Structure 1
Amino acid sequence: MEKRTLILGIVMVLILTCCKDLKPQKSDDSTLDEDSLELADSLTGEESMDELISEAPMPVAAEELFDDFLFNFASNKRLQMERVKFPIIVSSEAKADTLDRKEWQMEHFFMHHGEYTLIFDSEAQMESVSDTSVNHAIVEKIFLDQGFVCQYQFDRKNGRWMLDRMNKQTMSHNPNASFLSFYRRFATDSVFRQQSLAQEIAFSGPDPDNDFEQMEGVITPDFWDAFAPELPHGTIYNIVYGHPHTHSNVKIFLLRGIANGMEVALTFRREHNEWKLTKLSE
């Protein structure tokens, strides 16, 4: 027992010595600002990141595409405070109110998630994401479980995107109401999801044997689980670019990764007032 204790004591000394040696040594010619170091130590990881991002100016080119602006707006606290039209109008179906600068809380939207969602009526409408002529956009924060939508209306005037107003509405009054009601159940109810699959689901995705080729085929409901992506639920997002027509019997539900290039599209069609999944593209 004494021999084992002695060995453990020696090991602990070695570990402590190694850890001490691994600590970075401050050089005499260090130019780090002591005040900056103290500030960084006092902030949490998230706050530190917000501070660092806020120090970086948004590239002028980010005003061209709404997505580029939005990512900066949702990440940069200083920019966000500059681009909200205070006092901002917050309207609902019952009343209208305002929020002033002191009441505003940083809105990160989906930036702290690995992905975000978009809803389109057609593949042609998807091109609006890269349309530099779009001067109006609405970011929708959709609370599926609570059944309401918070809309953030942005407009570009004189080359600058601004958040002009907010609107809160029940989900039943949203232009995508029918699809959202369907999707809420599709994402969480496995039995209902199986019933909402077309007999043949067109599939296209990367060829596992060739990174530069796509493979196409058909998925039957029996094999859906082997291909099914993980579906977000609870709170999802949508971005409306411009003023599109939204009454459509086709919906393309797009899952898009923020930093990893992932993109999955699920196409649904409504027939006889029932939505069915008809296509999966990866």
Structure 2
Amino acid sequence: MKRILLGILLFAFLISCGNNKTKTDPFAAITDMVDSVKYEVADTLQQVELKEEPKPTEADELFDDFIFSYASDETLQRQRTEFPLPYYNRDTPVKIEERFWKHDYFFTQQSYYTLLFDEEDELELVGDTTLKSVQVDWIYLKTRMVKRYYFERKRGMWMLEAINLREMEKGENEDFVEFYTHFVTDSVYQSKHISRPLQFITIDPDDEFSILETTLDVNQWYAFRPVMPADKLSNINYGQKNEDLSNTKILKVNGIGNGYSNLFYFRRRNGEWELYKYEDTSI
């Protein structure tokens, strides 16, 4: 009985198909639906890829603007880091995969950052918008280690390309760093390495739009002096020389979001470094 019923149904299906003027594929609708979904998925994935592709931002014009955005924004930091990232720990090269990367806040978790220059003219490099290569350093004073981040501007975007942790090399501020470390940790040594008198530049207390130029003796220096970094220094290499051969050094201490700005001018006389000018234009 079941066989007879199955035969009747099959016969009816064939007759109905034969009566149609246009033959149709019963699976065509399903095939079209699958193709449609497939193309929609591919379209969506392509849009996601395009969305995640890093693009230049206004902050890329000035490196200082970029580095603060890079340090503060974890998503941007991952987008602007070339993975796997080459990391040189002294003589041991490794590559950091993105999944092992930890957000690096640089100096944004402290109230200031520092810059080193050889000459006053080099201070203008900070605002240079044509830079293509910049290095950011951490200089660890006690261990004489330097951690350097290498940034390159490609397609209008700043990208971190490598990190190098190594001992400070001879000729790259080594002599000055040795002096500075002693200068900020030993008050007796400091007093012997301050010019007499010490040039002092600050904002006129009676007119905030005017600059006051005067001098300080050693006792006044100790009354006016700010806290100077004694553990580590940061430095952004915009293209300044930073050579041991230079007989002048400038340490710039910039506050982060607090209007703090100090400049310390050092010079080498008769083989000895001394602080000869101090500038405080904090607002």
Name the TM tier (shorter chain): 0.7 to 0.9
Q: CA deviation at 1:94?
A: 2.3
- Residues of 2 paired with 1:97 and 1:135: CA distance? 25
- Residues of 1 paired with 2:194 and 2:83: CA distance? 46
Of the structure 1 ranges 214-223 and 239-248, higher mean CA displacement relative to structure 2 is found in 239-248
Tell me the residue number matched to 1:103.
100
Matched, 1:79 2:76: yes
Match of 1:146 among 143, 148, 163: 143
Match of 2:275 among 264, 274, 277: 277
Tell me the residue number matched to 1:255.
253
- Counterpart code for 2:80: R
Equivalent positions of 1:159-178 (< 5 A) are 159-173=156-170, 175-178=172-175
Q: CA deviation at 1:170?
A: 1.1
- Residues of 2 paired with 1:145 and 1:104: CA distance? 27
- Residues of 1 paired with 2:62 and 2:114: CA distance? 17
Q: Say whether the 8 Å CA contact 1:267–1:279 is kept in structure 2.
A: yes
Q: CA deviation at 1:102?
A: 1.9
Structure 1 stretches lacking a partner, 5+ long: 1-56
- Residues of 2 paired with 1:146 and 1:245: CA distance? 19
Tell me the residue number matched to 1:15.
none
Greater Rg over alpha carbons, structure? 2
Tell me the residue number matched to 1:155.
152
Q: Say whether the 8 Å CA contact 1:136–1:243 is kept in structure 2.
A: no
- Residues of 2 paired with 1:172 and 1:229: CA distance? 29
Tell me the residue number matched to 2:66.
69
TM-score normalised by structure 1 residue count: 0.76
Tell me the residue number matched to 1:201.
198
SS at match of 2:161: strand
Structure 2 stretches lacking a partner, 5+ long: 1-53
SS at match of 1:211: coil
Tell me the residue number matched to 1:131.
128
Q: Deviations over 1:63-83 (max 9, x none)?
A: 011000000000000000111
Matched, 1:222 2:204: no
- Counterpart code for 1:130: G
Tell me the residue number matched to 2:236.
239
Of the structure 1 ranges 172-181 and 132-141, higher mean CA displacement relative to structure 2 is found in 172-181
- Counterpart code for 2:247: N
Q: Say whether the 8 Å CA contact 2:134–2:239 is kept in structure 1.
A: yes
Q: Say whether the 8 Å CA contact 1:135–1:242 is kept in structure 2.
A: no
Q: Say whether the 8 Å CA contact 2:83–2:96 is kept in structure 1.
A: yes
Q: CA deviation at 1:129?
A: 0.5
- Counterpart code for 2:138: K
Aligned CA-pair RMSD:
1.8
- Residues of 2 paired with 1:174 and 1:97: CA distance? 27
- Residues of 2 paired with 1:193 and 1:280: CA distance? 14
Tell me the residue number matched to 2:116.
119
Q: CA deviation at 1:200?
A: 1.8
- Counterpart code for 1:70: I
- Residues of 2 paired with 1:243 and 1:227: CA distance? 29
SS at match of 1:124: helix
